[in-house]
Structure 1
Amino acid sequence: MDYIVYACPHCRALNKLPKKDSYKKAVCGKCGGNLLENKPISLDNYDEFQKITSSVTVPVIIDFWAEWCGPCQMFAPIFANTAKNYPLKAQFVKVDTDKNQQAAMQFGIRSIPTIVALKDGKEIDRVMGALPEPSFAMWADKIIEN
């Protein structure tokens, strides 16, 4: 049977689950949190960022942002709302470039917001700027379906 590895949005513990087209219920083995409640995980610690982005087997969609950035603030609810549509299909991650400069340097982030998609720990696509919700949802669909 195929499995996916997914980080709990509540406690960040890695969970191994049987791969299915849809899930009625999925709970974290560590904290008991609902894994279907797909919300972005803030990864401001580089070691934790490395662990999750290299271990998760579904696409990882990263929002590189900063607190002082107006377009980043405008895009944040769009990112969070879109994440809700992909439970266990993609891991949504937020990286504050001021707090996790190593991750920003690793991906050569020069402007924010920048959204990077990873598959199997490798970058497969990126977009720069705050996208409107329909455009971001179409981009996320393309990432997740491939």
Structure 2
Amino acid sequence: MRRWLNLSMNMLMPLTAVVIGAALLLFDPPLLQTLRQSVFDQYQRVHPRIYQPAPVRIIDLDEESLAKIGQWPWPRSRIAELVERLRKAKVAALGFDVLFAEPDRTSPKAMLNIWSLPGTTQRSIASLPDHDELLAAALEPG
């Protein structure tokens, strides 16, 4: 009996430690977060990570760009051209801080709804590539 009690105590202690550790990991209380972040900060002071410059470039649409290319929003075909140029420059990542929520108003098919043109001209314009499709194709992984 005494041996069984001793064996159960030997298993109860590690099991309790695992349960408490799992609960702390699951709930992540603010006190533990503060302690973890303080330890990390101290480690960074003692053994800081070696700085390596990252070749990050931000392309900004400034007044000069607007004067040269025209008012915003630019046609998606123009954005697609810029994406292609960046792809040729072998950029690692590309992100836009622009919301492309609606179809491009300058797309040839959108213009057909505005202009009254003869049938042959309408067919010619309808055969032109859609600006949204051009941008989508330019953004596809290649």
TM-score, normalized by length of structure 1?
0.21
Larger-Rg structure:
2
TM-score, normalized by length of structure 2?
0.22
